[in-house]
Amino acid sequence: MSDQINFFERIGHPAAECNSRLSDIFNTLFYGSDDERIYHPVGDDMGYIEDTGNIDARTEGMSYGMMMCVQLDHKEEFDRIWKWARTYMFLTEGDNRGFFCWSNSPDGRRNADGPAPDGEEYFAMALIFASHRWGDGEGIFDYSKEARDLLHNMIREGNGIGRGMFDRENHLIRFICEVDFSDPSYHLPHFYELFAQHAYPEDREFYKKAAEASRCFLHLACHRTSGLSSEYSYYDGTPYEKGGETWGKHDWYYSDAYRTILNIALDHLWFSKDAWQCEEGARFLDTMVKKTGVDNWGKILDWDGNIRTEDVLHPVAVIATNAAAAALIDESDAAAYENALFCLEKFWDTPLRGGDRRYYDNCLYMFSFMLLSGNYRIY
């Protein structure tokens, strides 16, 4: 189990208070009213996480739900979500067999025939933690085998089957299997470190190199003065600007990109292998607090920190992940520490989001709160 640090103590909230609030957050997301919850039990042994803005179940949310459950010791809900995913989302035919359909209707019907790699990453990590926390079962509940099989498929390339999720030469994760560009928020070196320990022996060296490659990539993907990342980027870290009818605009700091600083903060807490991460945290917070200012947190930002006129889609996610950057800061940097305290206070005073768009905001809210309260751990 990784070390536990309650960063909310910096603003006067002890562990007991934080743990109580964390329990309330989980109960709201899983068992709150119809306009609060994102989890839906199905029958006697299944359940799904709903993207309430798009009315579907996504591998992103399903795997997020599993990670929440294993972190907070909710095995029944974990198994229900996993069985729904394996029943309705798992692909057994075609080039993408061995992966999961990224979007399904709530009745289980598939909306696509391919995966989104961030879901597979979280599925694999949640399964490894479940194996260690609860022990392996039988069939699809042999968590460690399911994780190893998935990790093996994720790095495949050719051999009569579709592409894998990583570029075999540069060890960077792709946005989707069919393209040769990335999404900075998909880069999870802290997960890859653990995959390198628990994957099949023949796959471990690849994931070890993937952890190193992703940390180097993030140096490039996070702007050298603003600290922000774009939603999608080329392998050299520069924003993916082609967009157009196929992908739309993704070269700004928007939606997906909010996860990048959260991932950097968790990698720092779990492994502390890159001193740049603390510098990145200070740079990021200076942009958000001093240069942008809290009054503009509801506006979309360009990669360089320029404030645009358009409104963000997920304002609570911005507040939550800004606070997550506080985990990268200590009192030795007075200006950055002041910014960190400001963001912690703002997050603490912000409730979960309601309404149709609550799903994504509240997932990042949960992960940020777990991290900052010392409850996002290695099992």
> d(Cα 220, Cα 16) in Å, to the nearest integer?
39
Q: What is the 3-state secondary structure (H, E, C) of 33-85?
A: CCCCCCEEEECCCEEEECECCCCEEEHHHHHHHHHHHHHHCCHHHHHHHHHHH
- Phi and psi, residue 285, nearest 5°: -65, -35
Q: How many other CB atoms are there within 10 angstroms of residue 208's CB atom?
A: 17
* Residue 180: active-site member: no
At residue 299, the 3 state secondary structure works out as strand
- Catalytic, out of 50, 51, 60, 203: 60
Which residues, other chains included, contact 225 with Cβ-Cβ below 8 Å and sequence gap of 6+?
283, 287, 304, 305
Torsion-angle region of 58 (φ positive above 0: left; ψ -120 to 50: alpha; else: beta): beta
Task: Determine contact, residues 326/336, Cβ cutoff 8 Å.
Answer: no
* Residue 24: active-site member: no
Return the H-helix or E-strand segment holding 104: strand 103-104
> d(Cα 361, Cα 294) in Å, to the nearest integer?
17
- Catalytic, out of 51, 56, 231, 256: 256
Q: Where are the beta strands (DSSP E) in 252-322?
A: 252-253, 299-302, 307-311
> d(Cα 64, Cα 367) in Å, to the nearest integer?
9
Q: Which residues are catalytic?
A: 60, 256
